Structure 1
């Protein structure tokens, strides 16, 4: 039987079809864990896409937590939004719009309050979380858990 290069996402109900969370990562805001807008990889480095996930928050002004331990790589304004980026090895995790309570070079631990959520990114309170590994955007759900695993199925 020949396997195809066809990749399908199976329903979450299938046992083992959902990737578990990385124990060193945590959700950046409290409340129900709802993805308001999923990751959508761009077809090329400069193509359109959604280079992260929008995660529901309880309210604007909510505390935002470091998703992983590392060093604050950037804390400031990008265009018109407050942004915080944490580096851990080859991984950069960015949250926005978040007014920083940390500064570049600070060492942070997963779960530490790093800022407060500002309004304006979504129609309802949300935080945008983006993750880059060695410069390439990946779905943050690879680390937070819940990403459906790709499964190869036979052509016939």
Structure 2
């Protein structure tokens, strides 16, 4: 049990350390820790963000948050529906927060049309089946000026990482 908790803590710390900095010019109202979790109650992080070493390299470009099919998915902040549709085998919803920031959710189904505004904490969809999460989670990805960044930099309730000297 202790080993599992230590491993989870290490994975979270690694995700925070590996997260690229937010792009300059990003609207301060979109920057964390102001976003709310997309599930209520907040789901456990099943897989952390892992920054790839390059734009085409392997990595995990988001968070997998525990959720069951049919569970409500809430807007983490005020946004507008940018995309809603099926990508490969899963329903995907992308919300545009501002001119720099997009947040995508999969597998998440919605009946909202592109261009529909959503308020922070408003239900905009439900967890569905499909993709690598299938029936256990939703994948949340954040892009700033086209680059994936750690969603943990935006969500409330995550304390900032503190780097300590080696000695």
Q: TM-score range by the shorter chain?
A: 0.7 to 0.9
Pair 1:135-2:141 in alignment: no
Using CA pairs below 8 Å that are at least 6 residues apart, which structure has the higher relative contact order?
1
Aligned 1:109-120 pairs, distance under 5 A: 109-120=119-130
Q: In 1, Cα distance between the equivalents of 2:64 and 2:102?
A: 17
CA contact (8 A) 2:90 2:129 kept: no
Structure 1 residue aligned with 2:112, among 99, 102, 113?
102
Structure (1 or 2) with the greater strand fraction = 1
How has the CA–CA distance of structure 1 residues 123 and 92 changed in structure 2, closer, same or farther, with 3 Å as cutoff?
closer
Q: After the TM superposition, which parts of structure 1 deviate over 4 Å for at least 4 consecutive aligned residues?
A: none
Q: In 2, Cα distance between the equivalents of 1:123 and 1:70?
A: 25
What TM-score comes out, normalization by structure 1 length? 0.78
Gaps of 5+ in 1: 1-8, 13-20
Aligned length: 136
Q: In 2, Cα distance between the equivalents of 1:70 and 1:133?
A: 14
Structure (1 or 2) with the greater helix fraction = 2
Aligned 1:1-156 pairs, distance under 5 A: 22-23=33-34, 25-57=35-67, 59-89=68-98, 90-120=100-130, 121-122=132-133, 124-145=135-156, 146=158, 148-149=160-161, 151=163, 153=165
Aligned-CA RMSD value: 2.2
How has the CA–CA distance of structure 1 residues 100 and 124 changed in structure 2, closer, same or farther, with 3 Å as cutoff?
closer
Gaps of 5+ in 2: 1-8, 13-31
